[in-house]
Structure formats: C-alpha cells, structure tokens
C-alpha cells in the first residue's frame, strides 16, 4: 500500500469518527432541564408538546411550557394569576404559604379543550382550569372540595371523566360532566396497597398518580420510596379503568421517579420523570421506553441514559430563565416576562415599570421584620450546574430601616443588599432562616448606585453560593461568607434569585432596579 492510499484511509477514518462524535454531541442530554421543574405532567397535541409543573406559593402559578422536540422548553402561560386571596397567600397577619400553595398538576387535552387541574392545602380545594387556547387563554376555573392529593384526571371516549388520587391507598371517583364536583356514590378504592410491588418497609407510600391508556391497557404511574432504597417508579396496569390492577417496579436509578408517558409523532416513547438534586431543586429527566408483553420498560438495562435520541438541548435561556432590562418600549409597560414569579400574591399598587421608565420600582406598603415576610419579592429560578444573577439598583429613595437587594430564596436564605440606618447607607450580606437572621458583614456606602451579584454552584451537589458588589459592574468585590444552600421541605422549592425591598420602620420609601441579568457559570 503506497503513501497516498494510507493517507486516504486515514482521512476517511478520521472523517467518519469526527462525524460520529459530532452526531453524539448533537444528541440531547439528561437532565433535560437543570432547574426546579417538578411534578411534571405532559401532553402532545399534534406535533407540539405542553408541560405543566409545580411552583406552589409563587404567583402566577402552575406554569405551562411548550416544546416542539421534547428537549427545549419555553414558558408560554400560567393557569392562574391568583390561586386564592387569603392571609396565607397574601403574606399577612403572620401567615404564609411556603411549601404549599398549589401542588402537582395534571395536564390533559380532550375534544378541543385543555385542562389543568391541581390541588391545594392552602385553599382546601381541588382546582380545574379549562381553555381552548393554552398559550393565550382565557382560563375558566372550577373548584370543589375536598383537595384530592396528587390526582390524575382521565377522559374516557364515552365522555365519562374520572379522577384518581391518594397515597398508599389509591381511589377513583367519577366527576360530573361539568367537572364541578364528584358524582355521588361513585368513589371506590382502586388499589388497596399500591406500594406492595416495592416490598419491604415503605418510607413514602405510592403517590403521584398519572393514568394513561395505550393499546387497550390502562397504565397507572406512581412513585414509592422504600425505607432502605430510593425513589422508585411503579406501574400498575389493567384492561378496565376500575381494575383489578397488577403492578411492577419499573425503575430504580438515582431516585429518578414520578411522572408518566409521552410519545412522539414518529412512534417513540419516553417516560418523563424528575430527580431530587439538592438545592437547585427537582430536575426533569426523559427516559426511553420500549414495550415488552404490554409493559412499558423504562431505561436502558434498567438505567437512565445520559444521552437521548432527541435534538440537542439549547439551554434554558431565554425560554425558562431570562435577563430583563425593565425597558418597555412595546406598549406593554405593566407586563413582566413569564420567567418572573412573585413570592406569594403581589400588591400591584406597590410595584411599577412606569413610574420611572426603564426601571422596576418596588415600594413599601407596610413594616416587615425579615425578607421572608416582604411583599413583592420578584423571583426567577436558579439553574445548574452553575448560574449567577446580577442587578443594578438605585437606592436614593430608601428610608430609615429599609433593606433592598438581591436574594437567594429558600428557608435557609442569603442576600446581598443595602441597609439604611438614619441617613446612612451600608452594603450588607445577610444569612438567615425563619427563626434567626444575622448580618455577616457591613460596609459603608457613599453612592446611591450599586451593582450586586449572587453566584451559585450546584455542580455535583456542591450547593454553595457567594455574593459580590461593584460600583461599576466591572470590578467585583466579594462580601461576607459562603451560603451553604439547603433544599428544605418547609419551602419545598429550589433556590430562586429574588429582587426585594422592605421597610422595618417606615412605609414611604422605594428602590429602583435598572436590570436583572442571569447567566451561566460564576
């Protein structure tokens, strides 16, 4: 073989290997969303996918996301602006809805209508939202008592509507045609001990019901958590919606569990599930599904693959998180992008994008003790593996006893901001929780303009955050100490960036945020 032949063969081999590597790089990777998007419910209408999730005490609530490839998602709507107008959701009289609000939703499409149902300890009701236009609305709301835990709605072709719910013992009931309540006398136990296939002592009984019908079988998905094991996927099946059901353990891998089935237009099947991943929250995974003897087999050799035969993830910006210059030139001066949610119900008279053009103005309307009590804290998700948020604020309108700044919100919170004491301002870093709070560092501030940054590291569950300040947005100075972030059940949510302002003495101040910019890395 001569030199030219050897070179030709080498070139072809190199080219083929390069094409193979490029092909691998173009595949989607798990997790499909490295951010807090738990309790997924998903549908496909034609070639478009929609997904709902849980954001509990945030307002607006029950986010609706859209995708055309199952991998890249964009917020397109919320099911409600205000779930309920009460003391807990309004953060008044010492009440709050942290970790409550609305929980796991169910998203369905039937005869031209989209349905999103959820339940709430805060209202004590089951809520169902209905629309013909899931992206624009409007939504019609129906609610009734009681609050059915982790329920699934199922529309039969004959028009009957069922609701399945429960923990451990799973129940079924028929709903009225207008969904305004249950049909009396139809409630029955569907599965007496749904946890049984997992065997042994159970720490978390089977819950998270999601029901699907494929090729004549009804498939009921649950999560269960054995005491000495991990979050596990259970699937029960039956030829009849009312049973009897037989169940199997279908996946035990790193605690990736709770969700259901989705198919693609070309006949592929996936399970959508999520994983508890420390302080960033509960992050979604897609798991390939094959069928064997009419059972959905999840994963590859019982494991969730890192790569998927789907289009490459393009990142979360700007579909699920996004920067905001607060500069409204499109006539929509009152509107905030969908990436934003308020911590509890906002007081709309005390925030504005109009009073100072190009700025978000937050004002006080009462006296509060801590940032967890503050009204009108505006939030976005943090995300992994590393993310940072930067803001610029004008604090010239602050009054004695006021605090403002950039927050990392969870029960174990931290913020970098500005404190006003008399006519003196200072830069502070504060770490705290619902029972204590400490100022870690305080520096005098002579300027009224300040840049603040919070940097998060969730890689390999490191769960650490650090804070910085700057006078020009270029040269950054670290302040305080590391916040060791913890995912806690009282808040039941991944950490969020928050823009906040509250007064501890007076109610006549304000602060102006020039922008919020979110990015990858630290």
According to the model, what pLDDT value does residue 330 have?
61
According to the model, what pLDDT value does residue 2 have?
53
Interval 275-295: pLDDT, tens: 999 999 999 999 999 999 999
Q: Which residue has the tokens 């004695």?
A: 400
Interval 174-195: pLDDT, tens: 999 999 999 999 999 999 999 9
Which residues are registered as beta bridge partners of 288? 270
- Which residues fall within 8 angstroms of residue 261, CB to CB, at 6 or more apart? 212, 214, 219, 221, 269, 270, 271, 272, 289, 296
According to the model, what pLDDT value does residue 26 have?
85
According to the model, what pLDDT value does residue 472 have?
96
> In which order are the strands placed within the sheet that holds 48-52?
41-45, 48-52, 61-67, 74-80
Cα separations in angstroms, 269 against 263, 298, 309? 4, 10, 11
According to the model, what pLDDT value does residue 490 have?
94
According to the model, what pLDDT value does residue 123 have?
94
According to the model, what pLDDT value does residue 18 have?
43
13 or 503: which leads in pLDDT: 503
Rounded mean pLDDT, 361-367: 95
According to the model, what pLDDT value does residue 334 have?
59
According to the model, what pLDDT value does residue 499 have?
98
Band (1; pLDDT cuts 50, 70, 90): low
Rounded mean pLDDT, 346-373: 95
Distance CA 258, CA 236 (A): 13
Q: Which residue from 328, 453, 436, 333 is spatially nearest to 386, judged by alpha carbons?
A: 453
Q: Which residue has the tokens 């029955």?
A: 188
Rounded mean pLDDT, 206-219: 97
Q: Which CATH superfamily is domain 31-311 in?
A: Glycosyl hydrolase domain; family 43 (2.115.10.20)
- Percent of the chain residues past pLDDT 70, beyond the cut: 94
CB 271 within 8 A of CB 256: no
- Percent of the chain residues past pLDDT 90, beyond the cut: 91
According to the model, what pLDDT value does residue 332 have?
59
According to the model, what pLDDT value does residue 14 have?
46
Interval 9-59: pLDDT, tens: 444 544 444 444 444 458 999 999 999 999 999 999 999 999 999 999 999
* Other Cβ atoms within 10 Å of 433 Cβ, number: 16
What is the fold, at CATH topology level, of the domain defined by 341-520?
Jelly Rolls (2.60.120)
Rounded mean pLDDT, 438-445: 96
- Which residues fall within 8 angstroms of residue 462, CB to CB, at 6 or more apart? none
Interval 103-129: pLDDT, tens: 999 999 999 999 999 999 999 999 999
Distance CA 440, CA 450 (A): 19
Rounded mean pLDDT, 413-431: 97
Domain ranges in the chain? 31-311, 341-520
- DSSP for 36-49, written as a single string: ---S-EEEEETTEE
According to the model, what pLDDT value does residue 9 have?
47
Interval 66-80: pLDDT, tens: 999 999 999 999 999
Question: In terms of DSSP bridges, do strands 169-175 and 48-52 run parallel, antiparallel, or are they unpaired?
Answer: unpaired
Distance CA 189, CA 198 (A): 19
According to the model, what pLDDT value does residue 328 have?
81
């Amino acid at each position: 073989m001569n030199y030219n032949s050897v070179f030709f063969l080498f070139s072809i081999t190199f080219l083929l290997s390069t094409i193979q590597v490029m092909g691998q790089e173009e595949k989607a990777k798990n997790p499909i969303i490295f951010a807090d998007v738990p309790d997924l419910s998903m549908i496909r209408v034609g070639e478009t996918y929609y997904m709902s999730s849980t954001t509990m005490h945030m307002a607006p609530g029950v986010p609706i996301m859209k995708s055309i490839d199952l991998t890249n998602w964009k917020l397109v709507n919320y099911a409600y602006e205000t779930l309920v107008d009460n003391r807990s959701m309004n953060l008044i009289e010492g009440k709050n809805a942290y970790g409550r609000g609305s929980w796991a939703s169910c998203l369905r499409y039937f005869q031209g209508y989209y349905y999103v149902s959820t339940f709430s300890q805060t209202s004590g009701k089951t809520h169902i939202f209905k629309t013909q236009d899931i992206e624009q609305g409007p939504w019609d709301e129906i609610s009734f008592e009681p609050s059915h835990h982790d329920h699934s709605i199922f529309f039969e072709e004959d028009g009957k509507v069922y609701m399945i719910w429960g923990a451990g013992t799973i129940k079924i009931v028929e709903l009225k045609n207008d969904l305004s309540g249950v049909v009396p006398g139809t409630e029955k136990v569907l599965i007496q001990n749904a946890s049984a296939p997992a065997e042994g002592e159970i720490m978390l009984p089977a819950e998270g019901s999601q029901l699907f019908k494929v090729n004549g079988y009804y498939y009921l998905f649950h999560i269960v958590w054995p005491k000495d094991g991990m979050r596990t996927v259970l699937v029960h099946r039956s030829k009849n919606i009312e049973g009897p059901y037989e169940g199997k353990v279908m996946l035990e891998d790193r605690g990736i569990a709770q969700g259901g089935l989705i198919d693609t237009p070309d006949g592929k099947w996936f399970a959508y599930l999520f994983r508890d991943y420390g302080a960033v929250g509960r992050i979604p995974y897609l798991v390939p599904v094959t069928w064997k003897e009419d059972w959905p087999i999840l994963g590859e050799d019982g494991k969730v693959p890192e790569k998927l035969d789907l289009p490459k993830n393009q990142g979360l910006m700007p579909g699920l998180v996004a920067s905001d210059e607060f500069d409204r030139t499109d006539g929509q001066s009152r509107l905030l992008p969908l990436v934003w949610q308020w911590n509890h119900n906002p007081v709309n008279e005390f925030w504005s994008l109009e009073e100072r053009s190009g700025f978000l103005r937050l004002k006080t309307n009462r006296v509060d003790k801590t940032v967890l009590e503050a009204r009108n804290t505006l939030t976005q998700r943090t995300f992994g593996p590393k993310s940072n948020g930067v803001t610029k604020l004008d604090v010239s309108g602050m009054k004695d006893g006021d605090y403002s700044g950039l927050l990392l919100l969870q029960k174990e919170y931290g913020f970098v901001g500005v404190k006003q004491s008399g006519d003196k301002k200072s830069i502070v870093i504060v770490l705290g929780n619902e029972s204590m709070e400490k100022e870690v560092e305080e520096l005098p501030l002579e300027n009224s303009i300040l840049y603040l940054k919070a940097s998060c590291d969730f890689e390999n569950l490191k769960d650490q955050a650090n804070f910085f300040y700057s006078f020009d947005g270029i040269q950054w100075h670290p302040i305080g100490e590391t916040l060791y972030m913890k995912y806690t059940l009282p808040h039941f949510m991944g950490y969020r960036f928050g823009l906040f302002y509250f007064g501890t003495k007076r109610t006549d101040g304000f602060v102006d945020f020039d922008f919020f910019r979110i990015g990858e890395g630290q």
